[in-house]
Amino acid sequence: MAEEVDLLEQRVEAWIQDDIDQADRASLSDLLRQMRGPDRAESEAARNELVSRFSGPLRFGTAGLRGRVAAGESRMNRATVVRATAGLADALLASVGQATTRGVVLGRDARYGSSAFQRDAAAVLLAKGFRVWLLPDTVPTPVVPFSVQCLDAAAGIMITASHNPGCDNGYKVYWSDGAQIAAPIDSSIARSIDVQPSPNSIALEPPESHFGCEERPDLIQKYLETMDRVSWCPNAPVQELEVVYTPLHGVGGAIFLECCRRRGISRILPVQEQFDPNPAFPTVTFPNPEEPDALRLAMKQAEIRGADLVVAHDPDADRLAVVVKEPTQGWLILSGNQIGSLLAHYILQQDEPNSPQRLVVNTLVSSRLLEEMAKQMGVQYEETLTGFKHIAKAMMAAEERGLRAVFGYEEALGYAVSPLVRDKDGISAGLLILELAAALKGEGKTLWDQLATIHRKYGLWVSLNWSIGVDGLDGPAQIKDQMDRFRTAPRAFIESLNVVAVRDLTLAVPSIPLVIFELHDGGRLSVRPSGTEPKLKFYLEHRVPWPESVNYADAQKRASLLLQAAANKVAELVGGTFS
């Protein structure tokens, strides 16, 4: 035990010596003092905190970096950002032509530390001779990949933790093609970071030299002009639509309202308590629009105002949530699969119907309704691994083959409705869903009515997603153990779900931590660890019968009971019950 404490102290002291931030050094020194102090409870708490902060380096992966903001090797902090940027810069110099003159786009959200992290990234890049394109103030994440394409930049960096808890921040990288980094680029950047020296020996341009950054507020205007073109029905009566909107204390509010104003969507009512960016996220326990609690205030306002629907963005505005009112059940939060189905059907109906050169894309854990829709409409379909970077790459590759990739989505509320942004974009998706809702309203219909029409034609596909969170340093081991239970699932489990085939992608080359159970009705159960949080994630889908004599709401209720029962069988395998 004493040996472990000595080793921990040595690692903490070494980090303090190498850290570039005075406040971070002081916080670690305080924890060391408390750990060495006479108060047993305080000492134990400080030791546990230091063990957590020094449980291994924050690894650079396909999502870049993401973690809790604090001092220490396992946290997001200035020292981590400086080393990451130095590694990224060296990787760009080694593999991207004219990288320094093409430059790097830098954007940030409003989370804790974002401003300092953006400044540090700029300081490292300038010191290495890179041109730096600085997006002013805070911006939604989609503006960064859009700007990379506009400027033909070598890369883009967005400081954001997306929809993670308020204590987190992150560092997302876009490559020279304007898409998120993917293998093998991510690994080469990670290797470059690993060989960087200590943060305090990495050259930084002094703060007064930051005039070397080139601020580009005009890129915001270009983005707005581009959003004006994301439209299939310019004559939709959008002025008749009444919408409640929330950016969940994030950075999408001002740009989205301006996009709506330019489109003529005038009756859009912001949730004022959640409109201004606020890193504390004071009105929500978790700033993820997939969580019902996050949309509570918006639904309450929509009910009071008698609005047609609710739309919401996550804090960096690359995801979109939609809430509609069903006559018998009240306000219902649509799933990512339901929104994806609505957008796909709308686009495919409007965009050169009967053209075989069109392609739609979604992921292995998203609804198979899109595949059925594509089949019946004569459209090519592709399925990718989880993560929007794979969708973007598939859409780009299709265009190189002479196809037109017109739509891509993942069930986690991410949609690409235009090739103008090579990533998920909640702003453009939000504009298009409002246009569709307005067009339907002009016909006396709602988004819920349209879902019924889609499900009647292509089958009633119903899905349920949930996750199991794990805490503590043994979290990765717990997740591996739970994944192994599904990889070696007993026959009784297989039979209880009517499984017809099992695909274990952990045995594939390259290995992917994903197990898929193909179900008898064409649906699936997929199980995988989260790529950004300590969670095991489950995706369940069934295709259920829908007799002509049963209305849509009742069919959905019956399907929900079926999903709940199946989810409980899944939960039993890991020693719990679904709730």
CA distance linking residue 518 with residue 539, whole number of Å: 12
Closest CA to 414 of 400, 441, 395, 398: 395
360: left (phi over 0), alpha (psi -120 to 50) or beta: beta
Whether 20 contacts 78, CB under 8 Å: yes
Q: How many CB atoms lie under 10 A from the CB of residue 549?
A: 6
Angle at which helix 426-442 crosses helix 218-228, to 10 degrees, equals 30
Confidence grade of residue 4 (pLDDT, cut at 50, 70, 90): low
CA distance linking residue 578 with residue 328, whole number of Å: 26
Q: Does domain 460-573 have CATH number 3.30.310.50?
A: yes
427: left (phi over 0), alpha (psi -120 to 50) or beta: alpha
What CA–CA distances, in Å, run from 287 to 167, 281, 314, 542? 11, 7, 7, 29
198 is catalytic: no
- Regarding the domain delimited by 229-458, which CATH topology (the fold level of the hierarchy) does it fall under? Alpha-D-Glucose-1,6-Bisphosphate; Chain A, domain 3 (3.40.120)
What type of residue is 145?
Answer: P
Q: What is the pLDDT of residues 318-355, one digit of tens each?
A: 999 999 999 888 999 999 999 999 999 999 999 887 77
Q: Does domain 57-222 have CATH number 3.40.120.10?
A: yes
Parts of the chain belonging to CATH 3.30.310.50: 460-573
- pTM (predicted TM-score): 0.94
> Per mean pLDDT, which range of 32-36, 395-399, 466-470 is the poorest?
466-470
Confidence grade of residue 170 (pLDDT, cut at 50, 70, 90): very high
Whether 84 contacts 65, CB under 8 Å: yes
Parts of the chain belonging to CATH 3.40.120.10: 57-222, 229-458
The residue from 114, 162, 341, 526 that is catalytic is 162
Q: How many CB atoms lie under 10 A from the CB of residue 354?
A: 8
User: What pairing do the DSSP bridges indicate for beta strands 524-529 and 515-519?
Assistant: antiparallel
Q: What is the pLDDT of residues 423-461, one digit of tens each?
A: 999 999 999 999 999 999 999 999 999 999 999 999 999
- Residue 465's DSSP bridge partners are 539
The confidence score (pLDDT) of residue 290 equals 92
Write the DSSP symbol of residue 545: -
CA distance linking residue 386 with residue 391, whole number of Å: 8
The confidence score (pLDDT) of residue 579 equals 52
Strand locations in 281-419 (E): 309-313, 320-326, 330-333, 358-363, 380-384, 404-410, 414-416
132-134: strand order across its sheet:
65-68, 168-174, 155-159, 104-108, 132-134, 214-215
Q: What is the pLDDT of residues 88-115, one digit of tens each?
A: 999 999 999 999 999 999 999 999 999 9
Q: How many CB atoms lie under 10 A from the CB of residue 366?
A: 30
